[in-house]
Amino acid sequence: MGYIDDNLLPGERIHYRAHLHWKLFVGPALLTILGFTLVGVAINQGFNPYWSLLILVIPAGAALSAYLTWRCSEFVVSDKRVLIKTGIVGRHTLETLLTKVENIGVVQTLWGRLFNFGTIYVTGTGSTKETFAGIHAPLEFRKAIEAAAVAFEERRPSGRIPT
């Protein structure tokens, strides 16, 4: 279980879950291709093949880092809150009640629109602004927050005294 599942309130249900975009793995994939190319060149030049394989340690480390970043980042909309957790060793969390979310902004570059990733800005009451970059399907995440907020408002008692 992840951080989000461990910190749900009693009776709280998850409506939408998002992840970081796969673009996180492009750099490590390119490094791996470059690493294998360098290993091939080194072996062709007469270097020891076993020592040449050490070149692949850097791409393997980059791939592991990207995977852990992807795996340890959680973006959730529940029926009561927006919960976001990023970080592996150091942790950055945002847990905002749906009633306290004032604005959800999405920024997408041309590449972001083509490959469906972007940056989410969550602004809560008190002008606290949190930024989370590289989210897959950011417009769907925003739509899920808005839908959950509307559903939450519809479930709330109106607070009117009957006359």
Look up the CATH number of the domain holding residue 107.
Answer: 2.30.29.30
Domain count, the chain: 2
- Rounded distance between C-alpha atoms, residue 106 and residue 122, angstroms: 9
Residue 163 inside a domain? The answer is no
Q: What pLDDT score was predicted for residue 162?
A: 53
On whether both 50 and 125 belong to a single domain, the answer is no
On whether both 85 and 11 belong to a single domain, the answer is yes
Residue 161 inside a domain? The answer is no
Q: What pLDDT score was predicted for residue 161?
A: 53
Q: What pLDDT score was predicted for residue 2?
A: 82
Which regions in the chain score pLDDT beneath 70? 1, 158-163
Question: What token pair was written down for 18?
Answer: 């998002």
Q: What pLDDT score was predicted for residue 163?
A: 52
On whether both 57 and 99 belong to a single domain, the answer is no
On whether both 60 and 80 belong to a single domain, the answer is no
Beta bridge partners of 104: 122
On whether both 34 and 62 belong to a single domain, the answer is yes
On whether both 78 and 128 belong to a single domain, the answer is yes
Q: What pLDDT score was predicted for residue 53?
A: 84
On whether both 91 and 51 belong to a single domain, the answer is no
Q: What is the pLDDT of residues 106-123, one digit of tens each?
A: 999 999 999 999 999 988
Q: What pLDDT score was predicted for residue 28?
A: 96
Q: What pLDDT score was predicted for residue 1?
A: 62
Question: What token pair was written down for 23?
Answer: 């673009």
Question: What token pair was written down for 28?
Answer: 């490590």
Beta bridge partners of 122: 104, 130
On whether both 51 and 80 belong to a single domain, the answer is no
pTM: 0.80
Owning domain of residue 59:
25-66
On whether both 89 and 130 belong to a single domain, the answer is yes
